[in-house]
């Protein structure tokens, strides 16, 4: 998702501005530099941090270490702003936000996103922002270059908490959609007709309407490409783990969470389903392809 997000950002900012990027995959950086132009490939996360007043990235610990060579940012027009679009646990995010402030590096906000690779490419992502009210206009200005909706959920960590609640619901909805489509096709129903009905009835949901698990039902859905690429089962497991952990810390025990986690683990352990989009649960439970 990072590449289309960076491409959209580069295409919408002033052409005279230089964009600094870094990724563990150098080839992706080189591709953006060749296709977009005026992109500087940094050698490290620290180099990105030292050269730009705005940051949309996922790793900050290295940046927060003292560096005598770092430029003086007091001369910049605005206090430096770090926007973390990753999905991590709220406690870690709160710690990084505090460290960013206490080391006088700038302000840190959490802004996880929803919309998948398709949304990233189309520039229609939804960002869930956790930030103090006075910071939100600046955050919105940047994220609107990569997404369609930028929602302020509340103070720091609120964006992450909202994202985890959303992805918990997504994890359960996906399983239910796979089971419903499996039932329908086993009863002899046409999968596309069934999905069209669900998508205009009370069962309507993203896993059915956009990411339907039955091959051929939704054009460009991962199911039609052997469930590749997409939102991997391992990523769903990670988000589900984070949601269950955060729920436990609030003395909440989600009744479906453990069962969903077990099913995704089993799906990932099946060689026919391993490392594929999480809708591959349909294949794992024996759905007709």
> Closest Cα partner for 211 from 191, 231, 236?
231
78 three-class SS? coil
* Alpha carbon 198 to chain centroid, angstroms: 26
Q: How many CB atoms neighbour CB 184 within 10 A?
A: 20
Which residues, 6+ apart, have CB-to-CB distance to 239 below 8 Å?
Answer: 87, 163, 164, 167, 168, 171
Q: 10 Å Cβ neighbour count for 193?
A: 11
Q: Which of 107, 161, 163, 261 is catalytic?
A: 163
Distance CA 97, CA 84 (A): 10
163 is catalytic: yes
Spatial separation of the C-alpha atoms in residues 158 and 259, rounded to whole Å: 26
Element (H, E) at 168: helix 158-186
Supply φ then ψ for residue 151, to 5 degrees. Answer: -105, 130
Q: Name which of 211, 213, 13 is nearest 117 in CA terms.
A: 211
Question: Active-site residues: which are they?
Answer: 163
């Amino acid at each position: 998702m990072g590449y289309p997000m960076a491409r959209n950002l580069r295409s919408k900012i002033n052409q005279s501005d230089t964009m600094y990027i870094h990724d563990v995959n150098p080839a992706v950086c080189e591709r953006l530099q060749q296709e977009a132009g005026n992109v500087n490939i940094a050698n490290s996360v620290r180099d990105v941090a030292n050269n730009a007043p705005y940051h949309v990235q996922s790793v900050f610990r290295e940046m927060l270490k003292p560096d005598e060579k770092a430029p003086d940012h007091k001369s910049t027009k605005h206090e430096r702003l770090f926007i973390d679009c990753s999905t991590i646990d709220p406690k870690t995010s709160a710690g990084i936000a505090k460290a960013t402030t206490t080391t006088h590096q700038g302000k840190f906000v959490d802004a996880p996103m929803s919309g998948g690779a398709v949304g990233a490419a189309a520039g229609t992502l939804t960002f869930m922002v956790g930030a103090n009210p006075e910071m939100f206009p600046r955050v919105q200005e940047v994220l609107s270059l990569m997404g369609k909706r930028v929602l302020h959920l509340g103070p720091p960590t609120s964006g992450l908490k909202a994202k985890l609640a959303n992805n918990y619901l997504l994890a359960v909805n996906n399983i239910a959609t796979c089971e419903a489509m499996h039932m329908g096709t086993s009863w002899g129903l046409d999968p596309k007709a069934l999905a069209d009905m669900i998508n205009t009835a009370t069962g309507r949901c993203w896993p059915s309407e956009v990411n339907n698990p039955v091959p051929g039902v939704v054009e460009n859905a991962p199911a039609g490409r052997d469930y590749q690429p997409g939102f991997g089962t391992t990523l769903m497991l990670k988000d589900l783990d984070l949601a269950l952990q955060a729920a436990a810390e609030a003395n909440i025990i989600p009744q479906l969470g453990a069962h969903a986690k077990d099913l995704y683990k089993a799906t990932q352990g099946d060689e026919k389903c391993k490392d594929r989009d999480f809708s591959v649960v349909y294949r794992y439970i024996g759905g007709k392809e």
